[in-house]
Amino acid sequence: MNTYYSHGKLLLTGEYVVLDGALALAVPTQFGQTLKVEKNASGVLHWISYDNKEQIWFEDRFKIQHNEILKHTSTSLSAGIQNDDTISNRLLQVLNAVKRLNPNFLTEGKGYKITTQLEFEKNWGLGTSSTLINNLANWADVNAYQLLDLTFGGSGYDIACAEANNAITYKISTNEILNQVQNDKRRTINTVHFNPSFKRDLYFVHLNQKQNSREGIAQYRANTSDLSHEIERINRITKQIIDCDSLEAFQQLLDEHEQIISKIINQKPIKEQLFKDFNGSIKSLGAWGGDFVLVASDNNPTTYFKDKGFATIIPYDKMILK
């Protein structure tokens, strides 16, 4: 049995504009996803996905035929589990994309039992898809960024985090010549020392709904104006946040970042929408409208957010990989 593991991710700065070459700060999380592969002679690929509570949340069988992965016509699943065609079709797309990159992957005549295990809630937005893509790429010995481009798309920072053990800066080259070479050459990924002295005052709060990052990106792409000035400002903020040594300065940087992105995507910052009376800074992460927000406050905000109906409040040290 072979086992593969990838870390989840959070994008602390540069959301949206990372797609256009902004310098982004990203961190791998303590929570990730495991993929286990067991070979057999069945000629069938039996896929079982467990959530963080050890419950099966997806299961299906596929057949490997004529060097292609297809739906299995007669499917026998665990008790109480119903096939989700949307997920099955998506998984089929991903598996066949892997075969495009590596034709020797899942050769006919062999069978496999695949087991995935999440360490975080599926709706947290920490990378259910990116950790899967990275695990599959490692299993099949293909380029994870190329596989991402063929399937879910996006900037690729989440793939970088899947393999990282520390905070990273992530930047996509916008040089057209570089864009024509192999995908991973477009990306500049550097490990950085990001360990705020005030991290005890940082929290991640979940907003109770999973945001579709593809929808957020589409909304961002609808803005066709020149963003070079805004990207320069975000680059500066990212560098200052990495070196920031006081909570007050950190909060000012978060607030400035929120205002810049708010104007770009024509959407109010989440603090203005939901938490106007909060004494501290709140920054959206990744695609706005769901997932986690980063909260910076010198007072423990747990009671405040629970009273507002947001029960998932995770201290920085409990979330970010050390």
Closest CA to 279 of 311, 301, 263, 257: 301
End-to-end CA gap in the chain: 28
Domain with 46, as residue range(s), is: 2-191
User: Does residue 6 sit in the same domain as residue 142?
Assistant: yes
The answer to whether the CB of 114 falls within 8 A of the CB of 48 is yes
Q: Are 18 and 141 in a shared domain?
A: yes
> Would you state the pLDDT for residue 255?
98
Q: How far is CA 207 from CA 141, 159, 284, in A?
A: 36, 24, 10
135 shares a domain with 222: no
CATH number at residue 221: 3.30.70.890
Q: Please check whether residues 105 and 160 belong to one and the same domain.
A: yes
d(CA 293, CA 296): 10
Here the tokens at position 38 are 């067991």
- For the chain, 322 residues long, the average pLDDT of each consecutive 10-residue run is 96 94 97 96 93 96 85 63 78 95 86 96 93 98 96 93 97 64 73 97 89 68 84 98 97 98 90 96 80 95 97 97 89
Looking at 145, 168, 191, which one is the last position of a domain?
A: 191
